[in-house]
Amino acid sequence: MRLPRVRIHRPDLAIYSQTEEATFGRDPTWNNPDIVTNDWGPFHLMEAVEARIANRSARANATNAVINCLVGPFGIGMPQSLYASHKTTVVAGNAVTIRFPLDATLHGTESQRLSFTIQAEHPFDTEPINNRGSQCIDGRQTSTSGRRFAIDVPVRNPLAAGRRIDLRLIPGELNAAIDWTQHDFAPGEEKVVRVDITVPAELHGTDDSPNKQPVSLIATWDGGKLLGGATVIARIDT
């Protein structure tokens, strides 16, 4: 007697993933559309990190999914540690928003910039590549910083072995340059790259209707493998 085949449906938890974007040949941003960490007036950390987690499966719920929030210093290749975890159920074809309140130590960070990673976990997930997304942003307003400014971004080799790291800039609508593009790093070495940004004269905005323009810095190693990145946002309000 031949038994009928039973198809097992599995969930697919997903967040905007820089690794997934790079795998498909797209330039990723670290101003993650699924993670909110900062607000303006001036640029500052919010009281809580908000992360949107979707379930791309049309049939299988993600029951008792674990959503982890990792936090570290602003920069590329910087160490992160687990900050908080949240257990939830994401219904098939739907999404949830998880809030991770920041404690006073993190919220009081002088530079008001940190790096965050959200990791969604479920034992039966079908596509692990889209389970992990990061947010690493800094921001400047033209009303306070002018139309030309520079931002220092730390770049670190997180490995216990030497690595050559290459940097690439995605300036978008802005004019931008960096002071180095390649460096041979010792194990654990950290080096700052300066990002010089100029807002073109034709770009304008107001406080009520600002024009936000990103500049993304992408770091690769081992023949083009993605290490990480950071995005600087110019809030044009003049």
183 burial (CB, 10 Å; 0-12 / 13-18 / 19+) is middle
- Quote the DSSP letter at residue 128: G
Query: Do 220 and 76 meet the contact criterion of CB atoms below 8 Å apart?
Result: no
| 94/34 Cα distance (integer angstroms) | 14
Report phi then psi at 178, rounded to 5: -125, 155
Per-residue pLDDT of the chain (238 residues; tens, 9 = 90+): 565 664 668 999 999 999 999 999 999 999 999 999 999 989 999 999 999 999 999 999 999 999 999 999 999 999 999 999 999 999 999 999 999 999 999 988 888 999 999 999 999 999 999 999 999 999 999 999 999 999 999 999 999 999 999 999 999 999 999 999 999 999 999 999 999 999 999 999 999 999 999 999 999 998 899 999 999 999 999 9
Structural domains of the chain, ranges and CATH numbers in brackets: 13-236 (2.60.40.2310)
| C-alpha separations of 2 from 5, 17, 92 in Å | 9, 43, 31
Radius of gyration of the chain from Cα atoms? 20
- Its pTM stands at 0.94
Nearest Cα residue to 120 out of 134, 102, 137: 134
